Structure 1
Amino acid sequence: MAITYLLNLFSNILNSNPASQNFQQDLKITWGNDRGKIVDNGQIMTLTLDNFSGSGFESNFEYHFGKIDMQIKLVPGNSAGTVTAYYLSSVGDNHDEIDYEFLGNISGQPYTVHTNVYAGGKGDREQQFHLWFDPTADFHTYSFLWNPQTVIFSIDETPIREFKNRESIGIPFPKTHAMRLYSSLWNADDWATQGGRVKTDWSQAPFTAAYKNFKADACVRAAGRTSCGPQTVAWMTKKLDGLSLNRLKWVRRNFMIYNYCDDTKRFPQGLPKECQVRE
């Protein structure tokens, strides 16, 4: 079944794929009025949050498998209460979604990277990490690798999380729907920082995150047809090699701060089925 699925996709391969680094071509600001800006001849995008509104953008294209990279510089200083969300999502009640959410903190404290995976409208698969660098001092590359076998979250090519396709044992996997890329900067001080105990300090506003070097080696869904560029094909069967697995283990051992698969209080009737598959 998986082989047939891939062959059907590969039959639509085109000579090129709309993957570029020009925000004006690939992305559009969707809310926040002038709080979202595209500058530097389309090479840089900024999102801003103030005490009136946040802002956000979405991709012009829907993607259905591939690798998507974005370099992001997160909100500096006292960013407590703010959330910079960066995610893939389809629409509808039974939507699929693959999330990064960067939870701000008081100055000098580490950022928390909150991740989640939805399939068929069901999420509740949160894992959280602290970063091993200052994500506000410079741009870093945040990536999704999504193919029929796996979802891999990576930062600067270091994997931090993998969610494998285990449909064979009844676990939903985000495979059916094409998804757009979204990002937003918004206030969530009811939960984002230390469970909502630390509120947004509006004297620090406006808060700004910056984006550059967007790249989508991804299949594009348009007019009921999925088209894959030649560079995308290489990602269709990609999985973690030995070195990447060791990096993943290093991140999980040193920087993971929450894993839903370890939260027995949250799931008193038993952990989700995928949590019972230990590798």
Structure 2
Amino acid sequence: MFLQDDGTIALARYAVRPGPGEGVGPQDVFGFERPTDAVIQAFRTHDLMLVASDPAPFGSADPELSGDARFRNRLDMGDWRFRLNIGLGSTATEFRNVLIVKTCCGKLRDRLANPTTWTAPQAFIGEPDRITALSVWLQAFFSTATTRGRDPFDPDPLYKYFVDTVLDDPEWTGFVALNVTLDAMESLPDSLRRYGADFAAKGFTAHHFGASFGAPTGPLTSTFGLIDDTLSDPVSPPTTWLTSQNGQPGPATPGTAVVLKARFENSALADFSMGLREEDDGG
């Protein structure tokens, strides 16, 4: 976590990948520009344990607005783009686009099971019943991930870092966004954008993305994330799989995308597979 000279609170620096001919500017951070008093007070806390599902304290994420508090909500990893709209799509019992920032010691799993340890939860979540509902949801979300990552018969390596480090390493500090709604046409790299419409009707979800906090100097490169999204049903499983080649998705082939699994570490794609269902011939 970094405090910029202009007062911006950066959860990740060099978050926006510049396009051709573009340079990296001081605004290319994932964080809070001209932060509100609530955000400033929270980040002055020595042992920060911020859990947020209400976007109001963070200001607008609209890049066209200026002068007021703004949440710079875009984080690029390789050719993939992640964007967090805090709280968007949440209901009374189901939560989406949850932001967590941790600088304190102790397992994140344990901290999130005890809302009394959270930083100003009513300011960033709402009334006590809302805070309790979010804690219950978080525990269920983590339980599902743990079952996937530590299945004694078939552990899923995609969840290993999230479970072993983010959830259960008491020394881990960083930020993580959970159950994040993405725009497939924006998020997918150019080579896979032809499949964006396949996910558009249902919605496109990242299980999580975030960054581990390192030294207070130098770039923060330890970003990570996981997309594990399935549109298929047991009756019609994928018939073809695309995998990664030299750290990049393999060439696009005809078909409808029904499964996408992409794991990111250190700002780059680490594992990738996409399941396609063969297009019928119109018969």
TM-score, length of structure 1 as denominator length = 0.28
**Which structure features the higher share of helix residues?**
2
Structure with higher RCO (Cα < 8 A, 6+ apart):
1
More strand, by proportion: 1
In the superposition, the TM-score normalised over structure 2's length comes to: 0.28
